[in-house]
C-alpha cells in the first residue's frame, strides 16, 4: 500500500506503472505456495490469529504505538507503567516530525513523498484497522517494520544537514544530536542484553519467572494444552527449564485421562504436575480424589495438579 501510494503521488508514466504491476505480479506468484497452505489450513490460521480480535483499551494501544517508534532510537526495557514510556515516544516522534518537515523543505519532492508514504501508510492501516474492528494486531512491533526502518533514515537526513551546515552552531547541534543518538542506542543495547525478558514479549513475558520457579520443584512435569500459540509458548518456556524437565504437549482437542496421569506417577513417583495457563476445560480435568491449586508464586496462571497422596 505504501508503494501504491508512492506511485500514485509521483508517477504518471505508463512504463513505470507497468513495471510496478509486473513486480507485484511476480511477488504474488512467489507467494502462491503460501496462499495454498493458507487455503488448506484456513481453520488453523483462524485459530492462531484469534488473539488479534481481542479488544484492548485505546490508551494502552496508543502507548504501544508510540513505543514501536521510540524503540528505534531508545529503549531501556522499562515497565509500561514507567513515565519514560510516555516521554520517550513523545520526544522521538517529535524528532521524526521535525525530520520530515526538514526533508520536505530541503530535499526533492520524490524523497519526501517516499519517506512520508513509508512512515505514514503502514501505521495508518494497522491502527485504523484495530480502531474499526476493536482488535489488537497493532500491538506487535513486527508489523510496523516497513515503517520503522525509515525512522533512522529520516533522522539521518536531519543530522547530515546539521553536520554540513555552514554555521558553527548548526554543526555543533548536528554533532550533539548524533552523539546523543549513538549513546542512547548503545545504552539501550546494553539494557536489553542484561534483561531476562523484554517488555514487548506480551505472551511470553512471564515464562522466565515460571521456568525459574519450576526449576526449584522436584521432578516438575509441565502440561501444555493445544491452542493458538501453545507450541511457541512451550518452546519459549523450555529455553529456561532444566534439561530433564518433562513438557507434556497435548494434541488438539485432547485432555489427559486419569489412566495417563496415573501412568505418569508410576513412572515418576516424585513428579510435581503443573498446568501453564490452562483453559477452564483443562483446569477441570482433575480425576476423583485429585486436587487443583492455583500457584500464586509467579505472575502467571500456573495450576498444580495434586494426586490423592499429596
- When mean pLDDT is compared across 143-157, 206-220, 257-271, 272-286, the lowest value belongs to 272-286
> How far lies 212's CA from each of 217, 223, 268, in Å?
9, 16, 21
Residue 204 or 245, more confident: 245
Give the DSSP letter of residue 309: T
Q: What is the mean pLDDT of residues 220-242?
A: 80
Q: How far, in Å, CA of 233 to CA of 203, rounded?
A: 8
pLDDT interval class at 202 (50, 70, 90): low
Q: How far, in Å, CA of 165 to CA of 159, rounded?
A: 10
- Domain segments of the chain as ranges: 49-194, 207-306
Q: How far, in Å, CA of 127 to CA of 69, rounded?
A: 13
Tens digits of residue pLDDT in 41-80: 998 888 778 888 888 999 999 999 999 999 999 999 888 8
Tens digits of residue pLDDT in 133-164: 889 999 989 999 999 999 999 999 999 999 99
Give the DSSP letter of residue 251: P
Using the predicted structure, report yes or no on whether residue 122 has a pLDDT greater than 70.
Answer: yes
Predicted structure pTM score:
0.76
Amino acid at each position: 500500500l505504501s508503494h501504491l501510494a508512492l506511485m500514485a503521488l509521483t508517477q504518471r508514466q505508463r512504463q513505470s506503472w507497468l513495471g510496478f504491476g509486473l513486480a507485484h505480479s511476480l511477488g504474488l506468484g512467489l507467494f502462491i505456495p503460501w496462499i495454498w497452505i493458507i487455503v488448506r489450513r484456513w481453520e488453523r490460521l483462524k485459530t492462531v490469529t484469534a488473539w488479534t480480535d481481542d479488544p484492548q483499551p485505546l490508551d494502552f494501544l496508543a502507548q504501544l504505538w508510540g513505543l514501536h517508534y521510540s524503540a528505534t532510537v531508545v529503549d531501556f526495557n522499562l515497565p509500561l507503567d514507567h513515565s519514560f514510556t510516555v516521554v520517550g515516544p513523545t520526544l522521538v516522534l517529535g524528532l521524526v516530525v521535525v525530520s520530515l518537515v526538514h526533508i520536505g523543505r530541503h530535499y526533492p519532492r520524490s524523497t519526501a513523498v517516499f519517506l512520508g508514504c513509508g512512515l505514514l501508510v503502514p501505521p495508518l492501516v494497522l491502527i485504523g484497522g484495530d480502531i474499526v474492528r476493536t482488535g489488537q494486531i497493532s500491538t506487535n512491533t513486527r508489523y510496523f517494520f516497513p515503517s520503522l526502518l525509515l525512522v533512522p533514515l529520516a533522522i539521518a537526513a536531519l543530522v547530515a544537514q546539521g553536520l554540513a551546515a555552514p554555521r558553527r552552531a548548526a554543526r555543533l547541534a548536528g554533532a550533539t544530536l548524533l552523539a546523543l543518538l549513538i549513546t542512547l542506542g548503545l545504552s539501550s543495547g546494553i539494557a536489553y542484553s542484561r534483561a531476562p525478558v523484554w517488555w514487548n514479549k506480551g505472551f511470553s513475558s512471564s515464562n522466565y519467572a515460571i521456568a525459574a520457579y519450576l526449576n526449584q520443584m522436584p521432578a516438575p512435569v509441565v502440561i501444555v494444552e493445544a491452542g493458538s500459540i501453545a507450541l511457541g509458548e512451550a518452546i519459549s518456556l523450555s529455553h529456561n527449564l532444566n534439561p530433564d524437565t518433562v513438557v507434556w504437549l497435548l494434541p488438539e482437542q485432547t485432555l489427559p485421562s486419569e489412566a495417563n496421569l496415573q501412568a505418569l506417577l508410576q513412572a515418576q513417583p516424585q513428579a510435581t504436575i503443573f498446568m501453564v495457563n490452562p483453559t477452564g476445560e483443562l483446569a477441570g480435568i482433575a480425576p476423583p480424589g485429585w486436587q487443583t491449586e492455583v500457584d500464586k508464586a509467579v505472575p502467571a496462571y500456573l495450576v498444580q495438579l495434586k494426586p490423592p497422596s499429596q
